[in-house]
Amino acid sequence: MWWRGEGRRVMERDVKPILTVKGGKIMMKGGKIMKGSIKRILAVLASVFLAMSLFSCGGGGGGGTTTGGGTTTPTGLSGTVATGKPLASVTVYLKDSKGNIRSTITDANGKFSFDTTGLTPPFYLKTQGYGLFSYTDQKSGTANITPLSTAVVAVANNGNADIYTNPPSQLNLSNAKTSLKNLLNSVLQKYGVQNADFITTPFNADGQGMDAVLDSIKIFVNTTDKTIEIKNLFTDDIIGKGTFSNGTVTPTDPITNDEANKLPQSVTSSSKYFVYVKDKYGSPEQGPMMVDIVYADNGNISVKITATHGDTGDLFFIYGHGTKSGNSISFKVPVIMCSDTREDDTEEDDTGIAVFSGTIDPKGNITGTFINTLPKGDTCEESKSNTYEGTFTAEDVTNASPANVAGTYDVYATPREWKEKGPAKLQITQNGSSINASITVPDGDKTYTRSGQGIVYGNYVIFRVPIIICNDTIPNAKAEYATFFGKFDSKTNTISGIYGDGVPDGDYCKAPNYETTGRTTTAEGFWRAVKK
């Protein structure tokens, strides 16, 4: 099953600044090339497993938060990464004005910090995946990374939020901040944050203040038309518009008090789920997929599915919305879940819609059904029609105690279209819900080890390690952080799930017949770990 977010509309509107579009090929199941703009895919079903090595070394993944030498007092820069809910276990990169790079991983509350001793501002910051950016010309203090910071950076940089890849010679954020605040004024007033700075004001991802703003609205920056749209996340209604030029936003359809008042008064209730889906056409159950649901005080809900980008394995959100009444819940998501027959996805109307309907049990878990309707002219290969149906289960882990997953494991991986290979060594240490994870891989007569961090939610784990798992197209490419989702089974002492690979932008995973066809496949696969 394939989870693919909105097509051209998402790519040109939602993802700027929310998501950075990356070029290259993405392969559908069976090897068919998806032409046109890049798809967002959560690949969770493999049809063919062929042979090759388990992991490629792929170089290191970043410098970490190293400290300066001697007796120099460390200088620190910190912040919160959030899109409403905190983004836990997300890789953050910092680049200084001389090109020096450091990286770290956020904690369970989306917090991060860098020791900036020896670095020269200004600093350009980004998350790996999600397409979020930020900027500061201060060596210490706060630099939050959110859709608001990304929008500010995009407006100040002529619509291009990615200041990290090609840092501008200078970036004056003052007008961008002020004019964006003017466009959002009614919303900021509603949540009491008119005087807050979108980048430098510290905040907690707790559903209040600045975080309530992030929970309630979605910002679309269109770099081609130089326009901005503001949407109500709980209804998908457009509530404000503007244009921008020379670093300044001009409102063309200001957000009225009535539109702001239709946003929820309270967004402090939210739940985190891990979801499995099963179609009715004989495919295996798939998952786990991480889903966050925010419950408003008016019965509306917003939904964020964490998915992986097909050619790099990076994470991004698929947004949805719906309603909750008593124990009944229903929401729709712009996504194509099946392997469809359409090759060209550049049309504006090529987005499928999946409707999920379920019942919440006393433990907060959800069971229900889904129906995914494809755009006109498209067909699911599994169902042989333009609809795709099945069941889903969602386990509520919001307040679940973390399982003890610490230990040494033999870990195996199955990259897309290849046979499972292994074992490598997975070492997990744990402190409460936080874990450190390292993978040690044989490399001839030697071994190499890559380390990262993660979070445990009940029996589910998510961790990130800088490693390239597939057979990639660039020799000795430097690995970005691969993301591992899995469920721990205490009866068998095993973890199993899906992963998004650490393939960097511009690099791709080879298909088994790459040497003769040049064909590439998606940077995703399955993994399992057996405790020793």
Kindly state whether residues 524 and 438 are assigned to the same domain.
Answer: yes
Let me know if residue 91 belongs to a domain. Answer: yes
We report the CATH number of the domain holding residue 452 as 2.40.128.120
> pLDDT-derived band of residue 15, with 50, 70 and 90 as boundaries?
very low
Kindly state whether residues 255 and 288 are assigned to the same domain.
Answer: no
How many other β-carbons are positioned within 10 Å of the β-carbon of residue 495? 26
Domain boundary among 206, 233, 261: 261
Burial of 345 from C-beta contacts in 10 A (0-12 / 13-18 / 19+): buried
Kindly state whether residues 129 and 250 are assigned to the same domain.
Answer: yes
Between CA 386 and CA 525 the distance in angstroms is: 26
Q: Which residues contact 284 (CB under 8 A, 6 or more apart)?
A: 45, 278
Kindly state whether residues 147 and 255 are assigned to the same domain.
Answer: yes
Owning domain of residue 301? 2-47+274-396
Q: Which of 29-33, 129-133, 140-144, 291-295 has the lowest mean pLDDT?
A: 29-33
Is this structure's pTM higher than 0.85? no
Q: Is the pLDDT of residue 391 over 90?
A: yes
User: What tens digit of pLDDT does each residue of 233-268 get?
Assistant: 999 999 999 999 999 999 999 999 999 999 988 766
Let me know if residue 7 belongs to a domain. Answer: yes
Residue 145 and residue 77 in contact, taking contact as beta carbons nearer than 8 Å: no
Q: Is the pLDDT of residue 441 over 50?
A: yes
Q: Which residues contact 445 (CB under 8 A, 6 or more apart)?
A: none
Which stretch, 199-203, 314-318, 368-372, has highest mean pLDDT?
368-372
Let me know if residue 267 belongs to a domain. Answer: no
CB contact burial 59-77 (16+ within 10 A = b; e otherwise) = bebbeebeeeeeeeeebbb
How many other β-carbons are positioned within 10 Å of the β-carbon of residue 240? 24
Let me know if residue 187 belongs to a domain. Answer: yes
Let me know if residue 67 belongs to a domain. Answer: no
Q: Which of 21-30, 103-112, 218-227, 522-531 has the lowest mean pLDDT?
A: 21-30
Q: Which residues contact 36 (CB under 8 A, 6 or more apart)?
A: 8, 344, 345, 346
Kindly state whether residues 391 and 411 are assigned to the same domain.
Answer: no
Burial of 92 from C-beta contacts in 10 A (0-12 / 13-18 / 19+): buried
Position 194 scores a pLDDT of 85
DSSP, collapsed to helix, strand or coil, labels residue 373 as: strand
Let me know if residue 69 belongs to a domain. Answer: no
> pLDDT-derived band of residue 66, with 50, 70 and 90 as boundaries?
very low
Tell me which residue has tokens 């032409």: 35
Kindly state whether residues 244 and 279 are assigned to the same domain.
Answer: no
> pLDDT-derived band of residue 344, with 50, 70 and 90 as boundaries?
low
Kindly state whether residues 20 and 104 are assigned to the same domain.
Answer: no
Between CA 361 and CA 320 the distance in angstroms is: 22
Kindly state whether residues 185 and 109 are assigned to the same domain.
Answer: yes
ω into 122 cis (within 30 of 0): yes
Q: Is the pLDDT of residue 58 over 70?
A: no
CA distances from 103 to 25, 61, 168, 277 (A): 27, 8, 20, 34
With pLDDT > 70 as the criterion, what percentage of the chain qualifies? 84
Q: Is the pLDDT of residue 17 over 80?
A: no
Q: What are the two backbone dihedrals, phi and then psi, of residue 312, each rounded to the nearest 5 degrees? A: -120, -20
Kindly state whether residues 212 and 249 are assigned to the same domain.
Answer: yes
Nearest Cα to 64, choosing from 426, 461, 436? 436
We report the CATH number of the domain holding residue 188 as 2.60.40.10
Domain boundary among 261, 284, 300: 261
Q: Is the pLDDT of residue 23 over 80?
A: no
Q: What is the mean pLDDT of the chain?
A: 84
Tell me which residue has tokens 């929970």: 215
Number of domains in the chain: 3
Position 362 scores a pLDDT of 96
Let me know if residue 166 belongs to a domain. Answer: yes
Kindly state whether residues 312 and 384 are assigned to the same domain.
Answer: yes
> pLDDT-derived band of residue 490, with 50, 70 and 90 as boundaries?
very high
Kindly state whether residues 140 and 167 are assigned to the same domain.
Answer: yes
**296-313 mean pLDDT:** 87
Tell me which residue has tokens 């029996």: 459
Domain boundary among 216, 231, 261: 261
> pLDDT-derived band of residue 107, with 50, 70 and 90 as boundaries?
very high
Between CA 243 and CA 154 the distance in angstroms is: 12
Let me know if residue 279 belongs to a domain. Answer: yes
Between CA 82 and CA 20 the distance in angstroms is: 16
Q: Which of 60-64, 127-131, 173-177 has the lowest mean pLDDT?
A: 60-64
**409-426 mean pLDDT:** 95
User: What tens digit of pLDDT does each residue of 363-372 get?
Assistant: 999 999 999 9
Kindly state whether residues 148 and 217 are assigned to the same domain.
Answer: yes
Of residues 35 and 305, which shows the higher confidence score?
305
Position 265 scores a pLDDT of 81
User: What tens digit of pLDDT does each residue of 37-50 get?
Assistant: 223 333 222 222 22
